[in-house]
Chains A and B, each alone.
Chain A
Amino acid sequence: MGRQLRAVQIEERLDELLGAVLSSRRTATGPAKKLCGLDREQQEFALHWAGVISKSNSEMAYQFVEHVSDAFCKMDTVGVTKWIIEAMDVYDRQGLYPGSASLREVKTFADRLSQKKYSVPFEDVVGILNKYVKGVSGRDLEIRSDAQAWTDTETIYLPAAFKRFDSERLNFQLYKATGAFLLAQTRYGTFRVDPETGVPFVCAAIAKFQDPARALHIFESVEHLRLLSCMRAELPGLVRQMGELSASTDSNLQVKERPELLAAIRRPDSEVMDSIRIVNELYHQNIDLPASVCYQGIVDLEKVRLVTRKRVDKEKEKFRSELAKLAESLTRPDENGDEERGQVNVTLLTDEDESGEFDMTLTLDGQPVIPAEDMVQTAKSIIQDFGEIPEEYLVPAGDSRYRKDQQADEELPDENKKGKEDVIYYDEWDYRRRHYRKNWCELKELDMHPSNEKAVEDILIKYSHLVRDIRKSFEALRGDNKMLRRQTNGDDIDIDAIVESYPDIHKGNEFTDRLFIKSGRHERNLAVVFMVDLSGSTKGWINDAERESLVLLSEALETLGDRYAIYGFSGMTRKRCELYRIKTFEEPYDGLVKARIAGIKPQDYTRMGVIIRHLTRKLIEVDARTRVLITISDGKPDDYDGYRGEYGIEDTRQALMEAKYAGIHPFCITIDSQAHDYLPHMYGHVNYTVVSDVRGLPLKVSDIYRKLTT
């Protein structure tokens, strides 16, 4: 482009374009002068658009040239174009006045645009942050969206979007930094609990001040410095990035008197008490309260206190009752001395190395005991709170054998008296008695009520691209190459066959023509049952996801030719366990099956043991080399009459064990994020998968099935 146009030249052209709205009092001189400041390209752009707009309305065009140079200061050409288009839209729909107002509001538009452009919404990052936090800390902390960034020690809350920076990358970094900083608060003991009161030290300390708000403010700044020192040792890269984000990590706390105070919190092993001591000093000094740093979030002491309180009580009870259980199992030999447990001498050594690997050694009366994974987790959490396991926790207490659920059986009326004939009875394992309860559960097989088949077609349309991919990847599986030896034709010579027929050749006898190796299809001799959780908790999203998963899965399995059956299960109490037929092994995947899949809806509870036993029996009847039982579930086994907690888990585990003895491979796909606590115990460490996002379930299920069976 050539040189810039001079004001005179522009004015001439504007006069031509805007003639209709110009007068002796309103000339084009002003706007022309403004346009002088733009470069030639922008000038041409402005004049071009002035022409275009004047075709609709000259006044609009005048307003446009008045403001276009301002718009170019605030936005790039793409942004300016959007600004024009939006204003013209407003003009078209609402008329001249709102239209020209919209042109005048250049700044508002530009701000809105830049926010939209660079802001990073929570939904985009939560998946990454979940993994990041889990990886860095090894713990499953929940991350949720809230108005402010803060943590209650169990959940990290982050704002719905970050738009502080003019770059998506930096806004994402800010998310990460904020999440990591809040994580550091729990990790480095900002809310460490006073074992005597069960309240975090900081809550008590801040409450003592006359002006708690000021004290808290000082604490936040001091603690910020302390946490940075702690983090610097472990995550130097992150601290550097945080420094870049805030442009200052160290300098914003100015201490005039006795600045040497801060030395205590510059060590990586400093503790929250060091920070509190400094707050005590600084509170009485005349210091400027520093502004908080962009990733710092807020500290909500009241909520922290409540959450901590609740957890501390719960964990104390849990830990001590676990201990009691262990103690009891040690003193089992004296049969009748039920309450004669006496005092057990407990010692506990814990050790956490720098990488966060945790070791726990427990001795009861001098005997080393291996604590359950559950207990180790509890211990870890307690140590996060207190920095150690307090003395009083080491006293076994609480009733390890709870009886509450016993009475529940009698209270419940016998519903469903009718149709007893097709009821099948199953035993149930009582882990406390270490025996089966005979014919305890009454199971009925029902047909899933079919609904509109069209829902399935809709799902297929919704996932059409995926269905194609899934089919393709499963087809590849089906074509699993196997070398077939001694064939009459093939790609390679079978040396073994030739060698064997050599004597015949020598003797001049007729010899076999089966001398070739051919790669052929390997028959997948596999039968699989899908057991789908229809408990009430699956209502909504989960139920939809289950339905979609089943549709995609059926498509995949049809391609593969594996024999499969689908059952839903639910029920309420042992008197009414229900199994819903969706597809049996014999039925083809047809309209009826599709309609049943569409008819899946949430029911009542999850009594898993009896269902597993029943389906095990069904699987054994199928003639297949490999038999698989896959559970798709959203949580722990749970039923109304005491089938929860350990009882439910133990019965389910027992049922799974029976299935394994019968040569069946059980596997569980769950969306329960707590599943790591109990599934390894039930299914074994490698026999389950947690799908963290419900919406991911339909894609994942097929994928998992593919991996599982190759």
Chain B
Amino acid sequence: MYRIESEDYSIRVEPYYAPQGSEIELFESAHRNGIPVLLKGPTGCGKTRFMEYMAWKLNLPLVTVACHDDLTASDLVGRYLIVGGETQWVDGPLARAVRVGGVCYLDEIVEARKDTTVVIHPLADNRRVLPVEKTGELLHAPDSFNLTISYNPGYQSVLKDLKQSTRQRFMSLEFDYPETELEQSILMHEAEVDQETASTLVRFGVMTRNLKGSGLEEGASTRLLVHAAKLIVFGIAPLDACNASITQTLTDDPEMLTAIREMASSLF
């Protein structure tokens, strides 16, 4: 059996995280009570950062799996490998997290195949076990184990919807882009940008979010605003920074590009 170096997954430096509401207390309570957590929210609003912060705060190793549409159950649970003519079992990330009692974060769970999401079911209710079919093992999750999944409800695809049988095992935390002032202070902290630029960037972000559903699929995320702020601090002219890191990233539609560019030039 492989030894798991859980040290590799632990977070040693406190990640910067500014809470939007009571999500930290809620997560802590869920963790103490063995309730798995579902993070909902648009891209780039701080879900992954929140997980890093919580793992640090609870002093637990964090195993993150970015789900994709070819992710199979054995990618999560583990598989046999052939080593020197012998087969040897290797834990997948989920089994690893269960064994060490860490936090397993399945990012963008809807991207995974539907049959994959089913393997987390026994872990996500009061049984808290992970059956490993191939070895015949039944892994019992220690109290410190936590399962968290994330998903973006804004997708307009009928194939990417979370089944009720999966959803109804989780406590849900809703994330959205932070309030104006909070977002401003996040920019100031993450990119070390001055207050005036931060507030202008946040206003730009709000303007693009106003266009969601009127030609834009998503407005600018906090992550994009941070990117722009970093470029500005580095000496790029604000309009160029916004154009490169936000406007062009959001859309390819020429009319929309012009409109967003004009919004930026109205602000700076």
Chain A interfacial positions (CB closer than 8 Å to B): 127-132, 134-138, 140, 176, 180, 234-238, 241, 353-357, 482-483, 495-496, 498-499, 502, 626, 628, 665, 667, 676, 686-687, 689-690, 692, 704, 707-710
Instruction: Give every chain A residue within 8 A of B181 (Cβ-Cβ).
Output: 353
Having A134-B210, A709-B158, one finds 17 other A-B pairs with CB under 8 Å, namely A131-B260, A135-B259, A136-B266, A138-B206, A176-B262, A176-B266, A235-B267, A238-B266, A241-B266, A483-B70, A495-B80, A502-B82, A628-B158, A690-B213, A690-B214, A708-B158, A709-B157
Of A234, A236, A495, the residue contacting B81 (CB under 8 A) is A495
A665 to B213, CA, bound (A): 19
Of B82, B211, B262, B268, the residue contacting A236 (CB under 8 A) is B268
Nearest CB on B from A206, distance (A): 30
**Given known contacts A128-B262, A354-B180, is B154 in contact with A686 (CB within 8 Å)?**
yes
* B266–A180 touching, CB < 8 Å: yes
Instruction: Give every chain B residue within 8 A of A236 (Cβ-Cβ).
Output: 267-268
Is B179 on the interface with A (CB-CB < 8 A)? yes
* B153–A134 touching, CB < 8 Å: no
* B70–A482 touching, CB < 8 Å: yes
* A356–B267 touching, CB < 8 Å: no
Nearest CB on A from B221, distance (A): 15
A665 to B159, CA, bound (A): 9
A136 to B266, CA, bound (A): 9
**Given known contacts A236-B268, A628-B158, is B214 in contact with A131 (CB within 8 Å)?**
yes
A129 to B258, CA, bound (A): 9
26 residue pairs of the A-B complex, CB under 8 angstroms, read: A130-B259, A131-B214, A131-B259, A131-B260, A132-B259, A135-B207, A136-B263, A137-B210, A138-B207, A176-B262, A355-B202, A355-B203, A355-B206, A357-B179, A496-B80, A498-B82, A499-B81, A499-B87, A686-B153, A686-B154, A686-B156, A690-B214, A692-B215, A709-B159, A710-B157, A710-B159
Which B residue sits closest to A673, measured CB to CB?
A: B214
* B268–A135 touching, CB < 8 Å: no
Instruction: Give every chain B residue within 8 A of A626 (Cβ-Cβ).
Output: 158-159
Is B256 on the interface with A (CB-CB < 8 A)? yes
Instruction: Give every chain A residue within 8 A of B203 (Cβ-Cβ).
Output: 234, 354-355
A180 to B265, CA, bound (A): 13
A131 to B259, CA, bound (A): 6
Instruction: Name which of B81, B202, B207, B256 has the most chain A CB atoms within 10 A of its CB.
Output: B207
**Given known contacts A237-B267, A628-B158, A708-B157, is B210 in contact with A138 (CB within 8 Å)?**
yes
Is B115 on the interface with A (CB-CB < 8 A)? no
Nearest CB on A from B243, distance (A): 13
Nearest CB on A from B19, distance (A): 18
* B259–A128 touching, CB < 8 Å: yes
A135 to B199, CA, bound (A): 16
A692 to B203, CA, bound (A): 25
A174 to B260, CA, bound (A): 17
* A131–B211 touching, CB < 8 Å: yes
Instruction: Give every chain B residue within 8 A of A708 (Cβ-Cβ).
Output: 156-158
* A127–B81 touching, CB < 8 Å: no
Instruction: Give every chain A residue within 8 A of B161 (Cβ-Cβ).
Output: 665
Nearest CB on A from B201, distance (A): 11
Instruction: Give every chain B residue within 8 A of A357 (Cβ-Cβ).
Output: 179-180, 206
A237 to B259, CA, bound (A): 14
Secondary structure type dominating chain A contacts: helix
* A136–B207 touching, CB < 8 Å: yes
**Given known contacts A237-B266, A238-B266, A482-B70, is B180 in contact with A355 (CB within 8 Å)?**
yes
Instruction: Give every chain B residue within 8 A of A495 (Cβ-Cβ).
Output: 79-82
Is B222 on the interface with A (CB-CB < 8 A)? no
Closest 10 CB pairs of A and B: A238-B266, A131-B259, A665-B158, A499-B80, A135-B207, A138-B210, A355-B206, A355-B180, A235-B266, A237-B268
Instruction: Give every chain A residue within 8 A of B255 (Cβ-Cβ).
Output: 127-128, 131
Instruction: Give every chain B residue within 8 A of A498 (Cβ-Cβ).
Output: 82
Is B16 on the interface with A (CB-CB < 8 A)? no
* A689–B156 touching, CB < 8 Å: yes
**Given known contacts A131-B215, A355-B203, is B79 in contact with A687 (CB within 8 Å)?**
no
Instruction: Name which of A130, A136, A140, A687 has the most chain B CB atoms within 10 A of its CB.
Output: A136
* A686–B266 touching, CB < 8 Å: no
**What's the tally of chain B residues with a CB closer than 8 Å to chain A?**
41
Nearest CB on A from B27, distance (A): 25
Q: Which of B65-107 contact A (CB under 8 A)?
A: 70, 74, 79-82, 87
Instruction: Give every chain A residue within 8 A of B157 (Cβ-Cβ).
Output: 707-710
A707 to B159, CA, bound (A): 10
Nearest CB on A from B135, distance (A): 12
* A676–B260 touching, CB < 8 Å: no
A667 to B87, CA, bound (A): 50
Nearest CB on B from A703, distance (A): 11
Q: Which of B245-261 contact A (CB under 8 A)?
A: 255-256, 258-260
* B156–A687 touching, CB < 8 Å: yes
Instruction: Give every chain B residue within 8 A of A502 (Cβ-Cβ).
Output: 82, 87
Of A130, A135, A235, A241, the residue contacting B260 (CB under 8 A) is A135
Of A135, A499, A676, A692, the residue contacting B82 (CB under 8 A) is A499
A483 to B70, CA, bound (A): 7
Instruction: Give every chain B residue within 8 A of A127 (Cβ-Cβ).
Output: 255
Nearest CB on B from A129, distance (A): 8
A686 to B161, CA, bound (A): 11
Is B208 on the interface with A (CB-CB < 8 A)? yes
* B263–A135 touching, CB < 8 Å: yes
Is B155 on the interface with A (CB-CB < 8 A)? yes
Which B residue sits closest to A704, measured CB to CB?
A: B156
Instruction: Give every chain A residue within 8 A of B199 (Cβ-Cβ).
Output: 354
Nearest CB on A from B37, distance (A): 22
Which B residue sits closest to A687, measured CB to CB?
A: B156
Q: Chain B 171-196, CB within 8 Å of chain A: the 1/0 string?
A: 00000000111000000000000000
Instruction: Name which of B87, B157, B199, B210 has the most chain A CB atoms within 10 A of its CB.
Output: B210
* B206–A667 touching, CB < 8 Å: no
Instruction: Give every chain B residue within 8 A of A354 (Cβ-Cβ).
Output: 180, 199, 203
A707 to B87, CA, bound (A): 43
Q: Chain B 195-231, CB within 8 Å of chain A: the 1/0 string?
A: 0000100110011101101110000000000000000
Which A residue sits closest to B156, measured CB to CB?
A: A686
Of B179, B202, B263, the residue contacting A132 (CB under 8 A) is B263
Nearest CB on A from B218, distance (A): 11
Instruction: Give every chain A residue within 8 A of B268 (Cβ-Cβ).
Output: 236-237
Instruction: Give every chain B residue within 8 A of A131 (Cβ-Cβ).
Output: 211, 214-215, 255-256, 259-260
* A496–B156 touching, CB < 8 Å: no
Nearest CB on B from A669, distance (A): 11
Which B residue sits closest to A179, measured CB to CB?
A: B262
A131 to B254, CA, bound (A): 12
A502 to B262, CA, bound (A): 65
Nearest CB on A from B213, distance (A): 7
A354 to B195, CA, bound (A): 15
A667 to B199, CA, bound (A): 37
A483 to B79, CA, bound (A): 17
A236 to B238, CA, bound (A): 13
Nearest CB on A from B195, distance (A): 13
A689 to B207, CA, bound (A): 19
Instruction: Give every chain B residue within 8 A of A709 (Cβ-Cβ).
Output: 157-159
A236 to B266, CA, bound (A): 6
Instruction: Give every chain B residue within 8 A of A483 (Cβ-Cβ).
Output: 70
Nearest CB on B from A291, distance (A): 25
A704 to B215, CA, bound (A): 12
Instruction: Give every chain A residue within 8 A of B260 (Cβ-Cβ).
Output: 131, 135
Which A residue sits closest to B70, measured CB to CB?
A: A483
Instruction: Give every chain A residue within 8 A of B153 (Cβ-Cβ).
Output: 686
Instruction: Give every chain A residue within 8 A of B87 (Cβ-Cβ).
Output: 499, 502
Nearest CB on A from B152, distance (A): 10
Instruction: Give every chain B residue within 8 A of A689 (Cβ-Cβ).
Output: 156, 213
A686 to B110, CA, bound (A): 16
Q: Chain B 15-32, CB within 8 Å of chain A: the 1/0 string?
A: 000000000000000000
Nearest CB on B from A126, distance (A): 10
A357 to B265, CA, bound (A): 22
